[in-house]
Amino acid sequence: MSAASTTPAPASAPGRESIVRSVLTNPLGLVAALLLLLVIVAAVFAPLIAPFAADDLQIFKINAPPGDGYLLGGDGSGRDIFSRLVYGTQNTLVGALIALSVAAAIGVTAGLFAGYFGGRREVVMSWVADGLMALPALIVLLAFYQSLGSSIHVSMIIFGVMLSPGFYRLTRNLVNGVKHELYVDAARVSGLSDMRIIARHILLVIRAPVIIQVSIVAGISIVIQAGLEFLGLGDPAVPTWGGMLQDAFANMFVVPTAILWPGLAISVTVASFVLLANAIRDRLQQGDRVATAPKIPAPAPHPVGTAPNDAAVLLDVRELVVGYPTKSGWTEVVKGVSLQLRRGEVLGLVGESGSGKTQTAFAILGLLSTGGRILSGSIWFDGRDIANLPESEMQKLRGKRIAYVPQEPMSNLDPAFRIGFQLTEPMVTVLGISKAEAKARALKLLARVGMPDPVRTYNAYPHQISGGMAQRVLIARAISCKPDLLIADEPTTALDVTVQAEVLELMRDLQAEMNMSVVLVTHNFGVVADICHRVSVMRDGRVVETSAVQSLFADPQHDYTKLLLAAVLDDVTPRVYRPVQAKEVSA
Amino acid sequence: MSDVIVDCIGVNTHFGAHHVLKNINLTVRPGETVGLVGESGSGKTTLGRAILGIGPISSGRIVFEGQDIGGVAPRDRKGRAASIQAVFQDPYTSLNPSMTIEDILIEPIVARGQAAKADAAAQVHKLLDQVALPKDAAQRYPREFSGGQRQRIAIARALALSPHLIVCDEPVSALDLSTQARVLDLFVEIQERTGVAYLFVSHDLSVVRHISHRVAVMRGGEIVEFGECDQVTADPQHDYTKRLLLAAPVADPVRQAERRAALRALSRGA
């Protein structure tokens, strides 16, 4: 019914494993993954790869240039830089793993509980998290180094605690987003305990963003760890990248190139983690949509026929085809629709979801969602073909001559601006009248659409009025520039039935008063019977039947129309209750 | 006792300062559908959630087959009360997107400890069959199904524990017209076969009329009218029910014009 639900579905929904595949098909993701694999292999098989032991020193090779057994030369103590780099990988990754595990274990667990249970627990945990975030990590680490000694592992545990608020906040926000989903309610009704709901339903759904965070935090831990060791807070006996950096820095004037190798190892590893995170994020944000239009040319739109001769015809849509790009080419959502609308007439466009009714309406408005194109056909509006009109031309028509009333009134009002401003602004821009005059008109309009206190509504923000009132405001805005054509997309679907009756009443009165033409998109045959003069029934992108409203209900021609009308529940005989015996009850 | 399966006695609920359920008295008989109709904010969903045990009550009793279940969370419910199930409005968010249909269907059975996972899996085909879905649906994910099919899966999940009562919260509101009719027929067919009772919450009077034996009309947290379906929907006593009835447009231009005039007369009189 909405624009989003009628955009074409992807040809095949990607499975769970395809996230891995699509990250690897992304060139950056692939390079990052390969580099990380290399780093991990080096760490695991260090003794096999390194030609020398980490602390094997040869006095005559102090600060030696590359070659002669030492692939990358010797360091300040005469040890093989390459071998130490390989062993350093192991120690660096172990340090990062410690920080990461501590941060994720504390942060994710606390976030799950705080998010799921909320209340006082969440307040206390958030205070602790905020407090930790406010502490300067490096100074805390230096203080602990003073009291606990030189173990980099202890430092990384403490650093993990310092990093946990990041995981906490992320997880808590994610949990808050999903804990009110209906499947969580269904699980509670099924009798699942809170622990099992958290484990089965919540953790499973929020795992992807947490994995991205893991990748980024891994990079951060490596940088901080190297920084600590560079400052001399590590164990000098253990080969690490940061320690090597420190050694190379001390000998920088003797062998300027030695600083390159640990620096390179740190940069490449950290960059790989961040790039991998980006690749996963891109994949998740992209979802199932095609990021860019496929490289298939849209056929040049060809207008159909010439302007209608009959001046009473305001809108003449001919063989309209609307398509959206997918991986396999253009998918047509409107497949050759023809409609005619006379001045002062209300045309109902009725159909089920996916029938193309909303897309037809948006094509007339020139407001197709991203990627959507009118592939062929023409839209004659008042003697002019407006199909594929440039946006600047279309803007002159929209609002002034063609107006729009949406389905969701609340999401079509900007919460940041007063209603008065949102009503007067289009009048000032489109009609070029003064602000004072626009205000006078807006107040008159608000009174006309049935606002009990126009001045109060004029000064109100959207959240201060009800959904029914908001729809009246949007109708007021739509008619403010006296349009010839009003396009209403399910204008009463989001409203309560008594409010719907009032809004339909208002639309009928305004239509008659202004002799407007209206295209009303709806799925409700009751609304059609209430307000439309003629009806087009749509199915799968095509109009199957167009007739006057009386004959459509009295004598439907197409089988599909008959099927839809048969599904209407208006005249049913109430069911008769037969008491059931208790033994019958158990299924 | 045996002629009433659920008895709500003077149920009140407060959300902060808001009194959202006001002294609700409602009964459901075994094998019966009670329609609960009202507009947004009328409290109909709150009442359904209170009976399910996932919404709070401040006072009053909810008696299910002789057992007071008011304010008792689902996991603490014992005996038959543990089998009370729900079908929710939105079939897109009521099924966990990362679980297979089989896992979704056996969750209530495993959660209640009625069967081990392997034994529960054997029942999946029977459940799918009851809602006319193919066997191969078991290993697939919710996103592979249409809205109507997903709602059938939600119904199958609700049937897993052979409940005596299912609370249905707007279960067909998100569905297309033709799908809606088929899902409603499925509800009726299951009820006639198993004798399950429904509390059927909806804003749509025509849906409620189609499926209900008795109808309760809610407004502002109160039940303003409760009676036999035929009486409430054909000859309503309360002014609000009359307005609700006339406000819903019918798919017949001639009759709709008459109803419009009647509604206008009613609002003018009020």
* B3 interfaces chain A, CB cutoff of 8 Å: yes
Instruction: Tell me the pLDDT band of B211, cut-offs 50, 70 and 90.
Output: very high
CA distance B235 to A562: 29
- Which chain A residue has the Cα nearest residue B166? A189
Inter-chain residue contact B247 with A501, CB threshold 8 Å: yes
Averaged pLDDT, B246-267: 90
- Which chain B residue has the Cα nearest residue A549? B253
Of residues A84 and A67, more confidently modeled? A84
Average pLDDT, chain B: 91
What chain A holds in terms of domains, given with CATH numbers, is 30-286 (1.10.3720.10), 310-401+485-587 (3.40.50.300), 410-482 (no CATH)
Which has the minimum average pLDDT: A262-266, A297-301, A435-439, B35-39? A297-301
pLDDT of residue A379: 93
- Torsion angle of C-alpha atoms A129, A133, A137, A141, degrees rounded to 10: -20
A196 pLDDT more than 60: yes
The percentage of residues in chain A with a pLDDT greater than 90, rounded to a whole number, is 46
Inter-chain residue contact B98 with A578, CB threshold 8 Å: no
| Nearest Cα residue to A403 out of A445, A370, A355, A364 | A364
A68 pLDDT more than 80: no
Instruction: Tell me the pLDDT band of A10, cut-offs 50, 70 and 90.
Output: very low
A495 pLDDT more than 80: yes
Instruction: Tell me the pLDDT band of A295, cut-offs 50, 70 and 90.
Output: low
Structure tokens at A439: 């205000």
Averaged pLDDT, B50-71: 93
* ipTM score of complex: 0.90
* A17 interfaces chain B, CB cutoff of 8 Å: no
Q: What is the CATH code for B1-84+165-174+193-234? A: 3.40.50.300
B25 pLDDT more than 70: yes
Of residues A207 and A171, more confidently modeled? A171
pLDDT tens, position by position, A87-105? 889 888 999 999 999 999 9
pLDDT of residue A294: 54
A582 pLDDT more than 50: no
Averaged pLDDT, A509-527: 94
Instruction: Tell me the pLDDT band of A218, cut-offs 50, 70 and 90.
Output: very high
Say which residue the tokens 């709602």 belong to: B151
pLDDT of residue A585: 46
Averaged pLDDT, B80-90: 90
At residue A522, what are phi and psi to the nearest 5 degrees? -155, 160
Q: Which of B32, B143, B195 sits opposite A584 (nearest CB)?
A: B195
Instruction: Tell me the pLDDT band of B16, cut-offs 50, 70 and 90.
Output: confident
A494 pLDDT more than 90: no
pLDDT of residue B223: 96
- Which chain B residue has the Cα nearest residue A181? B93
Enumerate the β-bridge partners of residue A156: none
pLDDT tens, position by position, A408-430? 888 889 999 999 999 998 889 88
Instruction: Give the residue from A466, A544, A569 with the most B CB atoms within 10 Å of its CB, the best one to mutate.
Output: A569
Contact residues on chain B for A191, CB-CB shorter than 8 A = 74-75, 77, 82, 108, 111-112
Averaged pLDDT, A204-220: 89
pLDDT tens, position by position, B160-187? 999 999 999 999 988 888 889 889 999 9
Instruction: Tell me the pLDDT band of A235, cut-offs 50, 70 and 90.
Output: confident
Contact residues on chain B for A585, CB-CB shorter than 8 A = 30-31, 164, 194-196
The alpha-helical segments, DSSP class H, found in B10-146 are: 44-52, 101-111, 117-130
List Cβ neighbours of B5 (8 Å cut-off, separation of 6 or more). B28, B29, B30, B32, B64, B65, B164, B165, B197
pLDDT tens, position by position, A526-548? 999 999 999 999 999 999 999 99
- Annotate A276-315 with DSSP letters as a single string: HHHHHHHHHHHTTS-SS--S-PPPPP---S---S-TTEEE
pLDDT tens, position by position, A436-467? 999 999 999 999 898 889 999 999 999 998 88
Which has the minimum average pLDDT: A195-199, A228-232, B25-29? A228-232
Contact residues on chain B for A182, CB-CB shorter than 8 A = 88-90, 93-94
List Cβ neighbours of B25 (8 Å cut-off, separation of 6 or more). B8, B9, B10, B11, B223
Contact residues on chain B for A576, CB-CB shorter than 8 A = 213
Q: Which of B74, B193, B244 sits opposite A188 (nearest CB)?
A: B74
Of residues A121 and A4, more confidently modeled? A121
Domain ranges of chain B: 1-84+165-174+193-234, 94-162, 238-270
pLDDT of residue A536: 96
Rg (CA), chain B: 19
